[in-house]
Homo-oligomer: A and B are copies of this chain.
Amino acid sequence: MTSAEALSNDISGLMHELGRRARAAAGALAIASAERKHAALAGAAQAVDANRAAILDANGLDMANARDKGMSAAFQDRLLLDDARLDGIVDALRAIAELPDPVGTVIAEWDRPNGLHIERVRTPLGVIGVIYESRPNVTADAGALCLKSGNAVILRGGSDSVHSSQALVECLRLGLAQAGLPEDAVQLVPTTDRAAVGEMLKGLAGNIDVIVPRGGKSLVGRVQSEARVPVFAHLEGLVHVYIDRSAELDKAVAVTLNAKMRRTGICGAAETLLVHEDVAGTHLGPILEALMARGCEIRGDAAVMARVPAARPATEEDWRTEYEDAIIAVKIVPSLEAAIGHIEHYSSHHTEAIIAEDPAAVEKFFAGVDSAILVHNASTQFADGGEFGFGGEIGIATGKMHARGPVGVEQLTSFKYRVRGNGQLRP
């Protein structure tokens, strides 16, 4: 055996041991009472609050390393913890603690003619693997959402946040221990070797039930292409706003501006604007002027270029691009149907909006566009588990299998059937 093989075996063995521990903890967590899970989360929040100095010290190590490595200012900002951000983490843990416990909830129930009473009830999924970049707050959020939904979690944070993540995981494990629940319900991968990610994607011999990647396209793309277990994720948010011929001008301007410019780097930010040609004369100018006044670059098709000389010409590539920046691609479409056709062709099926006063147009858009989230007369930046009232999200999924849209605690559950009889035999 070469030393590289020996190291690879070590990591495989280490990861499989993590998987076994997670599975054992998941069994205990699945039948834990709502009170115990609440206590564990409240305890974790308390532990973060009480251990601010230690957490900030750990984060200081990570920050020093990041500076030494010359990481970008944006990277360092995502990595940084301070007292205000710790307040946010404590609040998030408390908010997740207070969510209704999804496990055991009766989703549906009915009686059969033979007297059988059937209930469909929520159960945990099992073990969730979360792979994310160097954002310490994801450690607390993801761990807490998995715990609330009765799942064990294996967290693999970015290597540059290892000290911060370890300090936060210790708080979650302290909360679990104090509540009489197995600490191994929350485990952090104790190596920064990338081979550990490969092992997670193979599913740890059946001990990971679903993988949630949180991060940029290269991370999500790798997970989606290599994972041998289900993945809840979105690769892109190529979000469209369509201005219908029935759109009110003020709403069209305000919503488009918010959808594009409130924050340009999030997955719910608009990337392409489609305008019905019947309102191109009235609506296009004010919308684009408002965007340009906020520093947004316009890339238009020929019809847009003819009306707005300050625009730059859009190429085919622009309709496929998630800018994540102050740039928007703009196209004039001859009809609602053409808008739906463009979206179905180019969209990443994350979130799309229609601005319209005509109810028939809205219903046609809602039926014809197959994206996770469709919005009428409101900003696409509401595409967020917190804004949906889920009390947080572990991510947003654009797949159609199991979870879709913001993934909160409910979508981290499965279900089983409870059938109650009184001696019924099948004829």
Which residue from chain B places its CB closest to the CB of A375 in the assembled complex?
Answer: B419
Of A153-161, A310-318, A399-407, the one touching chain B: A399-407
Which residue from chain B places its CB closest to the CB of A371 in the assembled complex?
Answer: B416
Q: Does A415 contact B (CB under 8 A)?
A: yes
Take A209-B401, A401-B401, A401-B402 as given contacts and tell me if A382 and B424 are in contact as well, using a CB distance cutoff of 8 Å: yes
Tell me how many residues of A have a C-beta within 8 Å of chain B. 59
Q: Does A414 contact B (CB under 8 A)?
A: yes
Q: Does A64 contact B (CB under 8 A)?
A: no
Of A110-118, A179-187, A195-203, the one touching chain B: A110-118
B405 near A416: Cβ-Cβ < 8 Å: yes
Q: Does A376 contact B (CB under 8 A)?
A: yes
Take A376-B419, A419-B378 as given contacts and tell me if A426 and B387 are in contact as well, using a CB distance cutoff of 8 Å: yes
B255 near A425: Cβ-Cβ < 8 Å: yes
Q: Does A60 contact B (CB under 8 A)?
A: no
User: Counting chain B CB atoms within 10 Å of each CB, which of A373, A379, A423 scores highest?
Assistant: A423
Of A134-142, A287-295, A362-370, the one touching chain B: A362-370
For A362, list chain B residues within 8 Å (CB): 420
Q: Does A285 contact B (CB under 8 A)?
A: no
Which residue from chain B places its CB closest to the CB of A364 in the assembled complex?
Answer: B31
Which residue from chain B places its CB closest to the CB of A415 in the assembled complex?
Answer: B404
A379 near B424: Cβ-Cβ < 8 Å: yes
Q: Does A230 contact B (CB under 8 A)?
A: yes
For A422, list chain B residues within 8 Å (CB): 377-378
A30 near B370: Cβ-Cβ < 8 Å: yes
For A27, list chain B residues within 8 Å (CB): 344
Question: 11 A-B Cβ contacts within 8 A?
Answer: A31-B367, A112-B388, A209-B401, A230-B230, A250-B423, A258-B426, A262-B426, A376-B421, A378-B419, A378-B424, A378-B425
Interface residues of A (CB under 8 A from B): 27, 30-31, 104, 110, 112, 116, 118, 123, 125-126, 209-210, 230, 248, 250-251, 254-255, 258, 262, 344, 362, 366-368, 370-379, 381-382, 387-389, 400-402, 404-405, 414-426
